[in-house]
Amino acid sequence: MRSTMMDQPLLISSIIRHAAACHGSTEIVSRVSDGSLHRTNYAEVYERSAKLANALISWGLQSANRVGTLGWNDHRHLEIYYGVSGAGFVCHTINPRLFADQIVYIVNHANDRVLFVDPSFVGLVAGVRERLHSVERVIVMSSANTMPPEAIAAGFECYEEVVAAHNSMFDWPRLDENDAAGLCYTSGTTGDPKGVLYSHRSTVLHALAICTPDVFNLGEGTTVMPVVPMFHVNGWGLPHAAPMVGARLVLPGQKLDAASLYWLTTTEKVTFTAGVPTVWGSLLDWIDENSADIAPLQCVAIGGAACPQIMAERFHKLGVDVIHAWGMTETSPVGLTNRCPASAPTALEGMTHPNQRLKQGKPLFGVETRIVDDNDGPVVHDGTASGRLQVRGPWIASTYFNFPSAQTDGANDGWFETGDIATIEEVGTVEIVDRAKDVIKSGGEWISSVTLENAAMSHSDVYEAAAVARDDERWGERPVLFVVLRPGSTPSKEGLLSHLGTRVARWWIPDEIHFVDELPHTATGKVVKATLRSRLKQ
């Protein structure tokens, strides 16, 4: 027997319609390509998204056609988010920090018909334009008077002229909620990038989940600044979650240096922000150097890589709560969160203990987790035994876009193989021990590179650290540590080894420490350990 409830699909267009109807005057502040601040609101974004949708229809796009973007976090990118997916097309956000050849591969693999680009990427696109076989038109996200001469010479169109030429009346189609709405490619560190295709349903459910109190706790009184770029996994869902609850949005554009982020945070009264650890390390250093206060910031979500204990402690000293988040492109991305208040009440058992703060946390409702051994057998959830972490849920990928099934390594009996090694407590709390490919196996025992790196970064002179394995005839593998020191610090292998000796088991202590000027990072800020391992072999 079916229920008597209305059959209303969960659609991305319903988010911006709701925001315009109920939070229309709520401000959206964004830094645009010329460095100035632009102010708009949800009602205007809704209207301009409708104009953009009319433009796409007039260009002859068909249902599920892909529309690419190479843009920073600003109001025009937000309009594209809603205009493209709401009209029944797929918004394909592309990471501009990738190599040109990777971008060409991704655009051609996705078969993008239209490409929206920020003015700062015009040179990049103009240089590869002839290799983008499926792209019919390129639109520069700028006004007519700020169009780069190179864009005009290349025949690229102006975004503001496109929007102005179309009507704001648009009949948003009633789509199937399982239709594709967004597309994002993995970083491709182990082969060609793979596309993850998000649905309207998965996107809306993910946005609802991250708004909840024990996740990001977003509401009408929140001012949200997504530092995580909108070109990466839908900006961690914040461009969908903020309008859903009427939160004020501050979009930082391309100026992500510490001074610019601090100025935006304090002048625009940001209360919630989210980004990767490398961004927050620079901001915290700037605050220390300038004896500054970060008020009114209340909470920061840290993901993309493990949050070092020292980073959480530095935020707590500023009175800022930390949310340790875990996820992947394939998980939309938020799958686990560990909310670590600056002043944890005693009711949160064990949350004041540093080890608990470093754990990735509990699954959001809708996400299930399990760990398995090398034979795919179940591993007990006792917080000690570790195994391969697998997840499943309504916003978890089951396969990759346009990838031969034989090459798809995502799904395993209905579960997604994350590539992480983890423990799970009886109450569901997950701790990522390491990436499966990064764990160090010495004398038959595992050494967690993540734990070793956190121990190193708790030293006052260490800015960043990465642990990798080198081959060893006796032990199989032994850990090697690459360390970036803070400015003005003097390298001291003995001092760092002594520090580690009080924090990890004796047999975990690395045989080698290499002090380097910087570590190699992916386009999304993760350390490329394959490059470090290659350096060791050389």
- Name the pairing type of β-strands 90-93 and 411-412: unpaired
Q: Which of 278, 352, 368, 446 is catalytic?
A: 446
Backbone angles phi, psi at 322, to 5 degrees: -120, 135
| Nearest CA among 518, 502, 507, 519 for reference residue 478 | 507
Q: How far apart are CA 322 and CA 313, in angstroms?
A: 9
Q: What Rg do the C-alpha atoms of the chain give, in angstroms?
A: 23
Q: How far apart are the first and last CA of the chain?
A: 67
Q: Which residue has the tokens 């290349």?
A: 154
CA–CA distance, 342 with 352 (Å, rounded to integer) = 9
Catalytic residue among 349, 441, 507, 512: 441
What whole-number distance in Å separates Cα of residue 215 and Cα of residue 109? 35
Find out whether 508 and 479 touch, Cβ atoms under 8 Å. Answer: yes
Catalytic residue among 186, 223, 329, 429: 186
Buried b (16+ CB within 10 A) or exposed e, 250-261: bbbbbebebebb
Q: Which helix (H) or strand (E) holds 279?
A: helix 277-289
CA dist 411 and 403 (Å) reads 13
Q: Is position 263 annotated as part of the catalytic site?
A: no
Beta strands 272-275 and 440-442, pairing class: unpaired
Residue type, 138: V
Distance CA 489, CA 502 (A): 21
- CA–chain centroid gap for 426, Å, is 28
Instruction: Write down the H helix ranges in 9-41.
Output: 12-23
Catalytic residue flag (residue 441): yes
**Residues in contact with 150: Cβ distance below 8 Å, sequence separation at least 6, in sequence order:** 122, 123, 126
Are 22 and 42 contacting, i.e. CB atoms less than 8 angstroms apart? Answer: no
Q: Pairing state of beta strands 223-226 and 248-251?
A: parallel
Is residue 429 within 8 A of residue 359, CB to CB? The reply is yes
**443 Rama class: left (phi>0) / alpha (psi -120 to 50) / beta:** left
Render the burial of 12-51: b for 16+ CB within 10 Å, e for the rest. Answer: bbbbbbbbbeebeebebbbbbbeeeeeebbbbbbbbbbbb
Can 330 be counted among the known catalytic residues?
yes
Number of Cβ atoms within 10 Å of the Cβ of 110: 22
Catalytic residue among 47, 160, 330, 453: 330
Which residue, 294, 305, 260, is CA-closest to 73?
260
The total of other beta-carbon atoms located within 10 Å of residue 266's CB is: 15
- The reply to whether 446 belongs to the active site is yes
The residues annotated with a catalytic role in the active site are 186, 330, 441, 446
